[in-house]
Amino acid sequence: MTFTLGQTAAAPHADDAVIDATTQSFETDVLKASRERPIVVDFWAPWCGPCRQLTPALEKVIGATKGKVRLVKVNIDENPELAQALRVQSIPTVYAFLDGRPVDGFMGALPESQVKQFVERLLKGAPDSEEEGIEAALAEAKQAEDEGDVAGAAEIYAALLEHDPELAAAHAGLLRTVLATGDIEGAKTRLATLSESVAKDPAIVAVRTQLDLAEQAAKSGPLDDLKAKVARDPADQAARLELALGLYAAGKLEEAGDILLDSIRRDRAWNDGEARKQLVKFWEAWGPADPLTIQGRRKLSSILFS
């Protein structure tokens, strides 16, 4: 997965809505440019009859967007290696690019009405503002995180920070990817470099809690030993707390929370409410909207007010 968010460009002009590109200029004219507006690439050749039918329709429809979409024409006779790299098997072939990657396309000469539908669909998928583009990138990075693609997520967060060094959500995401690799010291070092305003952001506070938990969990013993210790003496609250941290470290988050809830049910005042304080830390790390946090708060209320 790759993503790069460039600096905000000047508003696009209709007079550059149609250009020719080569293998050498493709990265600039298409990949980089598509981070600022949709790019439609028309692969054609002078000898291609259907190309002569399609290109005028593309030029007309894209010209009507007044610069919101750019048409880039690539002559495959002059740029065969580019056509081969993009697996163009017949012409005309049209690809649409957004955020540096192809998102739609078609082959053959479509009528103008279908070309218009294609471009309208592309415009609907394009961010209406820089803010929407950033939100979309953050969502893409978080999805990569959730799918276990730590490197891909880190790449997106790093690109966002090149664009805006004070973007707290990107700092938090990058910190999470560092923690996901087990590099606690690296996360601590990165945290220490944040500006005061970014460090106070709730997303950073949540990651700081995750870091604290990771340090605590790293000191817990083997999970099987902890479970056996609790089984031998269910009233051992200190063992329960250590087991909860061990489960947290093993990614068994719901089970970790349930262990603490059971500890509170048994003795809510133990060690000045330590089990409850630890549970609140879990919730801070997971975030207020996480289903485990919501579920945990309901269970705790049931225990406290029963």
What residues contact residue 101 under an 8 Å CB cut-off, 6+ apart?
2, 34
Compute the distance between CA of residue 38 and CA of residue 96 in angstroms, rounded to an integer: 7
Is 48 one of the annotated active-site residues of the chain? yes
Question: Which of 40, 51, 187, 279 is an active site residue?
Answer: 51
Compute the distance between CA of residue 78 and CA of residue 167 in angstroms, rounded to an integer: 43
Is 184 one of the annotated active-site residues of the chain? no
Question: Which of 39, 48, 109, 160 is an active site residue?
Answer: 48
- Is residue 282 within 8 A of residue 213, CB to CB? The reply is yes
Tokens of 273: 């409410």
Residues involved in catalysis: 48, 51
